[in-house]
């Protein structure tokens, strides 16, 4: 009899334990981001002030790279453990389509600009999806070793394809996006027509043929940290990566590297809130988002990393680097000096053609 009572007690405790965990979640939240210097800038600009203001315990997860897959798994397992997730715009669109992210009403859920402009107007065109709260504009561009390129530094993206003037290895991302556009551009296609050409079978062949000319000299990267490492090693002469990484290599790590802003490709990164959170957690996540995407906070982030704030009203507030004390504005991808020739990541094109071109690109890589 005694034993049976004990068993019952143990069983009830075991059953209650998970509920107990769920109940005190509200003053704790998990924020998912990319790690490295980028997470660091968010922690400094958003998380620390927010924790100080509200007393919430913030857990930082660095899983943004596999956010889509993990959110799918969480949804299937019926156990969403993330509260706010940092993803690129393309991923946000996918998550939104699959119903894995919550839809946001900018004017209700986001702070207006200090002068009273509504959030919808302040973010403007950058609100590319109903679930996506833009945070930064970043760009994928080239960096080159100043000591390995000879007397004339490269000035055009087509110098990447010029093995005679700039012999040596190049680092390119292991995916068709951006590479195909650059290849066509340097094969004589006008900038406005790049996507019209890339739609066609011949156009795709043409881009791959152009890439073929440098294929033997390419090191393919897949993580943002690869190109900075390869540049620092002198293993590559030039390589594409995110502009913030190059900023860190040049200004913070003092490496002999310079930026080639020509034909940089803008992309957006921002927050989503997973669908299916409990009311308490959803309220907490929305509160965080409201705080972290206001005009001042977005401008603050630019003190730690050279990505452009997504709000128009934040731009004038961008100041100096928190440690180096240099002006950040000239390092922003959106600075007029740097933005003379730019692309914007074409979401609709790549949503339609990504699978197809990906397959061709992978087959070409394996050849």
The residue ranges that bind another protein (CB under 8 A) are: 17-19, 21-22, 30, 32, 34-37, 59-63, 65, 73-74, 76-79, 81, 223-226, 228-229, 232-233, 253
Angle formed by the axes of helices 89-97 and 67-77, to 10°?
A: 20
DSSP secondary structure of 306-320: --EESSGGGGGG--B
Smaller CB separation from another protein, 240 or 313? 240
CB 328 within 8 A of CB 304: no
CB of 39 to another protein, least distance (A): 8
Cα 248 to Cα 24: distance, rounded to the nearest angstrom = 39
- Residue 171 CB, shortest distance to another protein, in Å, is 13
Cα–Cα distance for residue pair 311/363, rounded to 1 Å: 40
Task: Report the candidate in 71, 70, 72, 51 with the shortest Cα–Cα distance to residue 60.
Answer: 51
Q: Between 197 and 285, whose beta carbon lies closer to another protein?
A: 285
Report the residue number, 143 or 203, with the smaller CB distance to another protein: 143
Smallest separation, CB 267 to another protein (Å): 17
Tokens standing for residue 32: 């998912």
Shortest distance (Å) from residue 40 CB to another protein: 9
Cα end-to-end span (Å), the chain: 73
Q: Which is nearer to another protein, 35 or 319 (CB)?
A: 35
Q: Which pairing describes strands 133-145 and 257-272: parallel, antiparallel, or unpaired?
A: antiparallel
Nearer residue to another protein within complex by CB, 17 or 190: 17
> Residue 106: which region, alpha, beta or left (left: phi > 0; alpha: psi -120 to 50)?
alpha
What b/e sequence results for 300-320 when a residue is b if at least 16 CB atoms lie within 10 Å of its CB, and e otherwise?
A: bbbbbbbbbbbbebbbeebee
Of the pair 17, 209, the CB lying nearest another protein is at 17
Cα–Cα distance measured from residue 343 to residue 282, given in angstroms and rounded to the nearest whole number? 36
CB of 96 to another protein, least distance (A): 23
- Nearest approach, Cβ of 94 to another protein (angstroms)? 21
- Beta carbon of residue 243, minimum distance to another protein (angstroms, whole number): 16
Nearest distance, CB of residue 36 and another protein, angstroms = 3
288 closest CA partner among 22, 28, 66, 23: 28
Q: Which residue lies nearer to another protein by CB, 197 or 237?
A: 237
Give me 12's structure tokens.
Answer: 């009830």
Q: Which is nearer to another protein, 229 or 346 (CB)?
A: 229
């Amino acid at each position: 009899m005694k034993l049976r009572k004990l068993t019952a007690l143990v069983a009830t405790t075991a059953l209650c334990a998970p509920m107990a965990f769920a109940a005190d979640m509200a003053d704790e939240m998990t924020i998912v981001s990319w790690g490295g210097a980028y997470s660091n800038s968010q922690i400094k600009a958003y998380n620390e002030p927010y924790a100080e203001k509200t007393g919430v315990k913030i857990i930082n997860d660095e899983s943004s790279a596999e956010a889509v897959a993990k959110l799918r798994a969480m949804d299937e397992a019926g156990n969403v453990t993330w509260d706010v997730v940092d993803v690129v715009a393309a991923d946000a669109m996918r998550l939104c389509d699959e119903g894995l992210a919550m839809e946001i009403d900018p004017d209700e859920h986001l702070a207006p600009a200090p002068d009273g402009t509504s959030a919808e107007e302040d973010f403007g065109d950058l609100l590319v999806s109903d679930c996506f709260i833009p945070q930064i504009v970043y760009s994928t561009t080239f960096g080159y070793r100043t000591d390995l390129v000879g007397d004339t530094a490269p000035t055009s993206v087509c110098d990447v394809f010029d093995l005679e003037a700039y012999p040596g290895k190049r680092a390119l991302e292991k995916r068709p996006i951006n590479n195909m556009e650059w290849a066509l551009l340097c094969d004589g296609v006008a900038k406005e027509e790049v996507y019209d050409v890339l739609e066609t079978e011949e156009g795709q062949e043409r881009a791959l043929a152009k890439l073929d000319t440098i294929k033997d000299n390419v090191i393919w990267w897949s993580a943002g940290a690869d190109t900075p490492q390869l540049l620092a090693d002198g293993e590559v002469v030039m390589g594409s990566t995110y502009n913030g990484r190059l900023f860190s290599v040049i200004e913070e790590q003092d490496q002999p590297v310079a930026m080639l802003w020509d034909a940089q490709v803008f992309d957006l990164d921002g927050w989503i809130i997973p669908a299916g959170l409990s009311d308490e957690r959803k309220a907490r996540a929305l509160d965080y988002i409201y705080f972290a995407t206001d005009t001042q906070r977005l401008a603050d982030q630019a003190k730690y990393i050279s990505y452009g704030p997504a709000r128009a009203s934040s731009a004038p507030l961008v100041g100096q680097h928190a440690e180096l004390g240099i002006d950040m504005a000239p390092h922003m991808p959106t600075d007029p000096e740097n933005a003379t020739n730019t692309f914007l990541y074409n979401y609709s094109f790549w949503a339609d053609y990504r699978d197809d071109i990906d397959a061709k690109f992978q087959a070409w890589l394996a050849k």
